[in-house]
Amino acid sequence: MSEPRLIFTGNVIVDLVMNVTTMPEAGGDTVAQNSDITAGGGLNTMVAARRDGLPVVFAGQYGSGHFGGIVRAALNAGGFEILLPGLDDQDSGYCVAIVDASTERTFVTVVGAEGHLTLDDLRHADTTSNDLVYVSGYSLAHPVNAASLPIWLEELPAETRVITDPSPLVTELDPALMARVFARTDFLSANEREAGVLAPGTDARGAADTLRSRIRPGGTVIVREGAQGCWVATGDAAPVLVPGFAVEAVDSNGAGDAHGGVLAAGLARGLDPVSAARRANAAAAIAVTRRGPATAPEAAEIDAFLAAR
């Protein structure tokens, strides 16, 4: 049997990150305490999975130009298998990420080549039954990707497990499209806000309980509740709270990505969903103690963190 891989279909774009004390009012201005320009988006999830020992195939699209050059360099440095050669006729997109003193994040995104992932592109992945596929709502927000991904998901081997992260753009996604993707989803991982959009009128536990009826039979829903941890609803069992870890957070940017990548790595190595979620909680806890988006820990750091607790 081939070694499990993470087939990542999300977007890698450039993050323009600015740290501020407070967000300015509409029409106002403020001075950033510091800033950074780095590849981000789905890169952070892939980095987290790779650092926890899971080989990663980047199956998304990317471009050329100034931002495309940053993306290409980061992909090459990340130790991933890069499926596609990229597009030469357009640049990659970018995202302005503003982080305030409470570590709350606000985003504005400009779409580039990553929004042009075709069915033929995806079919180059040669996905096996042992692989895990990662789908992001950021990709589903783009018409070309949204037309391609559901067809490709339905073509996958029945044994291939699919992880779907609806992303903060969940409010803008077509419900019919999401229903089609969810029908092929084995693990739905969302934060509390996203889950509340998908299951209105519920809290985190209730959303986990409700949403499992909308994914593939026997699947698992994980609803992240920040520092409290995450709710895991598997099969027919009652949702279980997997507690988070008390740390001094300095930057929550990338915490969800660290959680998603390490969750995938844990599932790939055979952990049950609750154990994989606990490991993912630990990775997210470590990540928020560091500034920057790609702050996921190495496997040995997670092991030591869990052993100490």
What is the chain's pLDDT, residue by residue, as a tens digit (309 residues)?
Answer: 689 999 999 999 998 989 999 999 999 999 999 998 999 889 999 999 999 999 999 999 999 999 999 999 999 999 999 999 999 999 999 989 898 988 787 888 899 999 999 999 999 999 999 999 999 999 999 999 999 999 999 999 999 999 999 998 899 999 999 999 999 999 999 999 999 999 999 999 999 999 999 999 999 999 999 999 999 999 889 999 999 999 998 877 788 999 999 999 999 999 999 999 999 999 999 999 998 767 899 999 999 999 998
CA distance 303 to 48: 14
| Phi, psi for residue 16 in degrees, rounded to 5 | -105, 100
297 DSSP β-pair partners? none
Please state, in angstroms and rounded to a whole number, the distance separating the CA atoms of residues 81 and 105. Answer: 30
Q: For position 294, what pLDDT does the model report?
A: 78
pLDDT on residue 235: 87
DSSP class of residue 22 equals S
What pLDDT is attached to residue 57?
A: 98
What SS3 class is residue 120?
helix
pLDDT for 1 equals 64
**pLDDT at residue 236 in the model:** 87
pLDDT score at 181: 98
Predicted local confidence at residue 309, as pLDDT = 87
38: CB partners within 8 A, 6+ apart? 14, 15, 17, 70, 74, 292, 293, 294
Q: Going by DSSP bridges, is the β-strand pair 161-165/187-191 parallel, antiparallel, or unpaired? A: parallel
Q: How far apart are CA 163 and CA 185, in angstroms?
A: 6
**Tokens (6 digits) for 303:** 């092991």
Please identify which residue in the block is written with the tokens 């891989």: 5
Bridge partners (DSSP) listed for residue 40: 13
Q: In what order do the strands lie in the sheet with 12-19?
A: 34-41, 12-19, 94-99, 105-110
Give the amino acid at 296. A
CB 83 within 8 A of CB 3: no
CA angle at 95 for the pair 293 and 6, rounded to the nearest 5°: 55
Q: Of all helices (H) and strands (E), which one includes residue 16?
A: strand 12-19
Reduced DSSP (H G I as helix, E B as strand, rest coil) percent helix, strand, coil of the chain, to 5? 40, 20, 40
98: part of which helix (H) or strand (E)? strand 94-99
Question: What is the structure's pLDDT at 153?
Answer: 98
Q: What is the pLDDT of residue 84?
A: 97
**What pLDDT shows up at residue 228?**
94
3-state secondary structure (DSSP) of residue 207: helix
